[in-house]
Structure 1
């Protein structure tokens, strides 16, 4: 019964991982008449010493994750607390917040690319609010604003998903605990810190890990909106690996970048798990 799933798993996960690990130690090119040659650790040394774009991509990736993870998790929790209340219209708000999640990220990126143009909707709104004092910014063509623009888009697009995860965690907390807290004179803030937050610990771990992995794997928004520019200010590790492997056909070097990325994500996930583990 498990044979079909096992075959697919081996073909599309196990074998590619083994091939990537093997190719990372070679000079293989995607289309080349010459066979791959073993080069040892040369690809890894090149990444950290002779490829400034990789270093810039690594910095952009971790900066993106450093901002997105806490902001998206915190905003999702706030929205979940708000829509968890028993009041008219909460179902409508849940649907509104969740719509961007089920919309294709490619479509969302294209729409926001138009909105970020110098004569786009965002500059027009700011110009209206400031009564014509705003001169307008070409958000995606300015190195100081391009990555920030992608961060805002990414938070807006995915926060609804994590709102639903937080909401499911909130609904597992027994109402009797809140009643007992109110009887003891606890206000809303004390109820949150002593009842809600401890009850959300397993949910918090899941949310942090999933947001971190998704943030470190940033690719589509960059590929659609900026192609890594301007001047590499939005290039990420995944985008750089894809560009090296398929556009420049340096598949061995791209595999080495992918292996570095895998190790980095694994270490960060393990550190997160250790920091959020249950303590005796």
Structure 2
């Protein structure tokens, strides 16, 4: 019986393992290997082992450093706006007495739309004659350059990204809010707690694992930004929207420097792994307390 179950398990798991090996594990190993070489895709026969030279070179590259800081700026803008906006929307919809399904669908529609389509749409919105500048002119505000200005391009793309992605995190928070035991709020009302006290002492502690999860996923997603600057600005103006992933893409597929691009990809992967470890550390205590409460409950 055990042997039959093992064969059945491998029958289901085997194809997935093969696909993961071919499209994830093997490319990751190849990328790691290429990162220690000067592999040039147009002339692979002249590949040499260079050790850690690529790793030193990318941090001396002014364009890579600029791309790194641009990405950090983007993350700093988008993470609080998207996480906070998603929580506020979830709280508002959870309190709404009518049309909850309508609001869920309305805010979630941009999530399922292609980023390329959304970016193209917002190019029109940000254009000098676009709807946004038209609205600003009605309030006596001069037309803004938005994505055509090196100072405004990155915040403009971040604003668009928040609009596009906030619905996904809203659904996650909404699910967490609906799973909070109503008895906790009833007990707080008996103690004459204010709305802020209930939010601070009940809602936030109960949503802590979700908050950490959303924070990490939004941060990782922000560091992977590629489509928005590629479609909207091409990394400009003056490389003000040039990001790490954009640099990896151009280095590997435009300049064909696969060794250098692999090094950038490995550095980016290490950063993602570090973020995942941070997530596990932050959520570990909360999960252990939750398990202990369940085991001690009569």
TM range (shorter): over 0.9
In the alignment, what sits opposite 1:171? 178
Match status 1:4 vs 2:12? no
Cα deviation for residue 231 of structure 1 reads 1.3
| CA–CA distance in structure 1, aligned partners of residues 261 and 73 of structure 2 | 22
In the alignment, what sits opposite 1:204? 211
Q: Which of 83, 106, 111 matches 2:93?
A: 83
| CA–CA distance in structure 2, aligned partners of residues 273 and 63 of structure 1 | 25
The structure-2 alpha-carbon separation of the partners of 1:71 and 1:277, relative to structure 1 and needing over 3 Å to count, comes to farther
Q: Which runs of 4+ in 1 moved over 3 A?
A: 271-277
Match status 1:152 vs 2:159? yes
Which is higher, the Rg of structure 1 or of structure 2? 2
Calculate the TM-score normalised by the size of structure 1.
0.94
Match status 1:55 vs 2:62? no
Cα deviation for residue 139 of structure 1 reads 1.5
Cα deviation for residue 271 of structure 1 reads 3.3
Cα deviation for residue 276 of structure 1 reads 5.2
Cα deviation for residue 267 of structure 1 reads 2.1
Q: Which structure shows the higher helix fraction?
A: 2
Cα deviation for residue 191 of structure 1 reads 0.9
Calculate the TM-score normalised by the size of structure 2.
0.89
Structure 2 residue ranges without an equivalent (≥5) = 1-11, 290-298
Secondary structure at 1:39's aligned position in 2? coil
In the alignment, what sits opposite 2:263? 256
Structure 1 residue ranges without an equivalent (≥5) = none
Q: Which moved more, 1:33-42 or 1:198-207?
A: 33-42
Cα deviation for residue 34 of structure 1 reads 3.0
**Do 2:38 and 2:48's aligned partners in 1 also have CA atoms closer than 8 Å?**
yes
Match status 1:42 vs 2:53? yes
Q: Which moved more, 1:61-70 or 1:252-261?
A: 61-70
1:63-82 correspondence to structure 2 within 5 Å = 63-82=73-92
In the alignment, what sits opposite 1:125? 135
**Do 1:205 and 1:273's aligned partners in 2 also have CA atoms closer than 8 Å?**
no
Secondary structure at 1:278's aligned position in 2? helix
Cα deviation for residue 103 of structure 1 reads 1.0
| CA–CA distance in structure 1, aligned partners of residues 76 and 25 of structure 2 | 30
Match status 1:98 vs 2:105? no
| CA–CA distance in structure 1, aligned partners of residues 44 and 267 of structure 2 | 27
